[in-house]
Amino acid sequence: MNKIIYVTILTASLLNSACNQRAQQSAEKAEANQTDTASTFNAEIDGKEVQLYTLTNAKAKATVTNYGARLVSLLVPNKQGTQTDVVLGYDKAATYKANKATFYGAIVGRYGNRIAKGQFTLDGKTYQLEKNDGENSLHGGANGVYDKVWDAEQVDEKTVKLTYHSIDGEAGYPGNVDMTVVYSLKDDNRLEIDYTATTDKATVLNLTNHAYFNLNGEGDATILDHDLTIYADKITPVDETLIPTGKFLDVTGTAFDFRKATPIGARINANDEQMKRGKGYDHNFVLNKKDGLQSAARVYSPKTGIEMEVLTEEPGIQFYSGNFMEGGQPIGKGGKDYGYRSAFCLETQHFPDSPNQPAFPSTVLKPSERYQTKTIYKFLIK
C-alpha cells in the first residue's frame, strides 16, 4: 500500500476513534450529570420517596416530581437553536417542601385559587376549610395536594402518570377523591396536562398547575418585556382580599385588555383600583372560548424568540405577574435568585370562589360524575 495513503487512512481512523471516544464520554458525562441531579434532588417526605421523572423528545425536555405532582423544569428550543429552561423551581425536593407555599410548578387543590372565608355550603351543609391566605383559603389550604407525595408511574419516555387519593375531610373537603394527573411531552413541543378525578361524596374540585414561567429563561430578572395576549373580554374583579365580587368587568379601555399582544409591563403600574388590590396582575380572566379545548392565551419573548400558547378546556385563566416575589432566600435552580416580577403564571381554572358565587360556572363534582379536563402549553419559535 502506498505509504501516503496508509498514513492518511491511519490518521482518519485515529481521528474517528478520538471523536467517537469524545462523543461517548460526553454522553456518559451527560448521563452521569442527570443521575447526579436526580440523586441530589431525591428525598424522603412524609415517609414516601420523592423522585424526578424525565420526559424527552428530539428537541425538548421536562422534569416532573411526585412531590405535589410538580413541573420542575421545561427546556424548549430558542431562536439561537439551544435550549432554554422556562420554568422556575428548586434543585432539591427538600427545598420545595420547606417552601411549599411558593407553589412552584405544583398541582394545586383540591381547590385552585381562593375560597372566601374558607367556607362553602353544599347540599345544605357548611364546610370549613383551612385558612392560609388571611381569612380565605388558597389553593386547597395549608394541607393541599401540592404538599402531598403522589404515586408515580413513568409510562414511557414522554409520559408520566401521577395519582393521589385524598381522604374524606382532608383540608376540610368532603368526599374520598381519587385524582390522576398525566404529563405528556409531545413531538411538536406541547406539554399536555390531563386531569381526571372521581369522588364518593358530593364535593367541589378545581385543579390547576401553578408553574411560574419566564420565557427569557428562569433566573432572568423580568417578564415585563414579554408580549401577552389573553382571549378574554372580561375579568372577575376582586375585593380587598382578592375574592371576586360576583360581578364581571369589561376589559375595554382598562389595564386588563390583552386581546391584542401587549407587553406585560406596559400598564402594570396603572392608577387602577383593581391593579392596586392585586399589586399588579392577579386576576381571573373570563375566556371567550366555548366548550372544548381551545386557545386561551399567548406569550412571546423577544429576547429568546420563544412563544408559548396556552390551550385549555377550562372557562377561566388566572394571570399572575409575580407581584409577591421578593428575591433572596430561598435561591432557585442553579443558584439563581428569583426576584420581583421575574415570572408569570397562567393558571387555567374554574373561577375563584365559585362555590359561593351562583353566577359562576359550577365546580361541584358528584359521585355519578367524572372530573376531566386538559390544558396544553405549546412552544414554538418566532
Alpha-carbon span 224 to 219, nearest angstrom: 14
Reading the block at residue 105, the C-alpha cell is 410548578
How many CB atoms lie under 10 A from the CB of residue 151? 13
Grid coordinates of 208: 390547576
Task: Find the Cα–Cα–Cα–Cα dihedral 247, 248, 253, 254, rounded to 10°.
Answer: 70
- Active site (annotated) includes residue 307: no
Contact 256, 248 (CB under 8 A): no
Q: Is 273 a catalytic residue?
A: no
Those residues whose C-beta lies under 8 Å from the C-beta of residue 203, and which sit 6 or more positions away, are: 110, 122, 173, 174, 175, 177, 364, 365
Query: Which residue spans within 129-176 are E strands per DSSP?
Result: 137-138, 151-156, 159-166
> Position of cell 386588563?
256
- Specify whether the CB–CB gap between 357 and 244 falls below 8 A: yes
DSSP label at residue 213: B
Is the CB of residue 34 less than 8 Å from the CB of residue 135? Answer: no
Name the nearest CA neighbour of 268 among 317, 238, 225: 225
Q: Count Cβ neighbours within 10 Å for each residue of 85-100 and write b for 16 or more, e otherwise.
A: bbbbbbbebbbbbeeb
From the list 192, 218, 347, 350, the catalytic residue is: 347
CA distances for 237 relative to 79, 112, 325, 344, 365, angstroms:
37, 17, 22, 19, 26
Among 139, 170, 210, 283, the active-site one is 210
CB 86 within 8 A of CB 342: no
Name the residue among 180, 381, 354 with its Cα closest to residue 300: 381
Beta bridge partners, 125, equal 122
Cell of 21: 471516544
Question: Which residues form the catalytic set?
Answer: 210, 347
